[in-house]
């Protein structure tokens, strides 16, 4: 696949314009970057969520590929069935070439409601790519907290108040959980680093068996920031290492190039405040009485980063 922008720009857009996703939503950017990798049309299945609702309001659709909606909790089961059917068709000679199967789900349909089906699909070894677009809450149904919501973020079900400073629990390390399923390929990615994201999609599609791609998907409505700062925030998440870029191929961890610079030059790693202060969901933390929570988040971020560095054998 050519990674030159002029070549990519000439490729057909498989997600048509005119969808109803919010201004500044990263989900459509992510989908376009993922689908630009493909030379043939895949079969897409999507769980209920922002992406599904906003791109397929009856009787319209923005998808130019075979597409199937399924319930919130079972997109991985859907992908498993599609992939199994394609294998049978290929074996019987009905298909000369098996199309790629890609599942898209948000954090609610991955961390929480869909985790059982996802775990089963990976345990059985179904050959498909699972893409998590992580906007860190149940945005489609009203900005409720999920297992992917960061600690201390204010949501409609974890509102910041005088007693509870937003969500009490820490974000679930979903990508590492999928590594522990012995998946042949797991990676994190960000729409701010399109080349890294697309190369990881390419790797995920090439491996035999299930691949998991965890992509950060900033949400202006739920995170409460101006719509023109989506890519800036996606980039800041990497620069603060609250969402570092890495991959694990057949059990071997590697830190990706955009995050590797903070291994070589730790002083370039930005403090977590720079990421938090741009988002209204963390506004309450900048009250002098709550500054200790920012320090807790910084320390937790550093610990999580060190886990990745140690597994990549880069920690001192």
Q: What is the pLDDT of residues 136-184, one digit of tens each?
A: 999 999 999 999 999 999 999 999 998 899 999 999 999 999 999 999 9
pLDDT in tens, 189-219: 999 999 999 999 999 999 999 999 999 999 9
Contacts of 265-273 spanning 24+ positions with Cβ under 8 A: 268/239, 269/239, 269/240, 269/241, 270/236, 270/239, 270/240, 271/240, 271/298, 272/240, 272/242, 272/297, 272/298, 272/301
Instruction: Decide if 71 contacts 103 (C-beta within 8 A).
Output: no
- The Cα–Cα gap between 305 and 38 comes to 32
Instruction: Decide if 221 contacts 139 (C-beta within 8 A).
Output: yes
In terms of pLDDT, which residue wins out, 3 or 65? 65
pLDDT in tens, 91-118: 999 999 999 999 999 999 999 999 999 9
pLDDT band of residue 4 (cuts 50, 70, 90) is confident
Instruction: Decide if 117 contacts 76 (C-beta within 8 A).
Output: yes
Provide the whole-model pTM. Answer: 0.97
Instruction: Decide if 297 contacts 152 (C-beta within 8 A).
Output: yes
- The Cα–Cα gap between 29 and 84 comes to 29
**Which string of b and e fits 158-195 if b means at least 16 CB within 10 Å?**
bebeeeebbbeeebbebbbbbbebebbbbbbbbbbbbe
pLDDT band of residue 6 (cuts 50, 70, 90) is confident
- Which domains, from first to last, does the chain contain? 11-311 (3.40.50.970)
DSSP 98: P
Instruction: Decide if 244 contacts 214 (C-beta within 8 A).
Output: no
Q: What are the residues facing 213 on neighbouring strands?
A: 131, 187
Cβ atoms within 10 Å of 93's Cβ, excluding its own: 7
Mean pLDDT over the full length of the chain = 95
Nearest to 132 by CA among 100, 173, 170, 167: 173
The whole-number pLDDT of residue 170 equals 98
Q: What is the mean pLDDT of residues 278-305?
A: 96
The whole-number pLDDT of residue 1 equals 66
């Amino acid at each position: 696949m050519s990674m030159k922008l002029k070549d990519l720009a000439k490729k057909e857009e498989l997600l048509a314009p005119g969808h109803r996703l919010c201004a500044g939503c990263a989900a459509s950017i992510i989908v376009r970057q993922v689908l630009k990798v493909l030379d043939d049309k895949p079969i897409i299945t999507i769980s209920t969520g922002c992406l599904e609702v906003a791109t397929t309001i009856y009787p319209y659709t923005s998808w130019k590929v075979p597409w199937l909606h399924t319930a919130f909790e079972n997109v991985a089961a859907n992908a498993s069935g599609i992939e199994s059917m394609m294998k049978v068709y290929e074996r019987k000679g009905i298909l000369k070439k098996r199309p790629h199967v890609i599942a898209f789900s948000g954090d609610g349909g991955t961390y929480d409601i869909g985790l059982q089906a996802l775990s089963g699909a990976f345990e059985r070894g179904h050959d498909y790519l699972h893409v998590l677009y992580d906007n860190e809450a149940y945005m489609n149904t009203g900005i409720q907290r999920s297992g992917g919501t960061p600690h201390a973020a204010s949501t409609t079900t974890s509102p910041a108040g005088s007693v509870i400073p937003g969500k009490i629990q820490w974000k679930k390390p979903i990508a590492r959980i999928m590594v522990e399923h012995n998946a042949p390929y797991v990676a994190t990615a960000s729409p701010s680093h399109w080349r890294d994201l697309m190369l990881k999609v390419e790797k995920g599609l090439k491996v035999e068996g299930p691949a998991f791609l965890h992509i950060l998907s900033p949400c202006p409505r739920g995170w409460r920031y101006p719509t023109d700062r989506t890519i800036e925030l996606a980039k800041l998440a990497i620069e603060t290492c609250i969402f570092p870029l890495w991959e694990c191929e057949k059990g071997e961890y590697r830190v990706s190039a955009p995050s590797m610079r903070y291994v070589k030059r730790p002083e370039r790693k930005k403090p977590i405040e720079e990421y938090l202060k741009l988002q209204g969901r963390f506004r309450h933390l900048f009250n002098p009485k709550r500054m200790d929570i920012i320090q807790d988040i910084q320390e937790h971020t550093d610990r999580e980063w060190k886990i990745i560095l140690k597994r990549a054998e880069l920690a001192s």
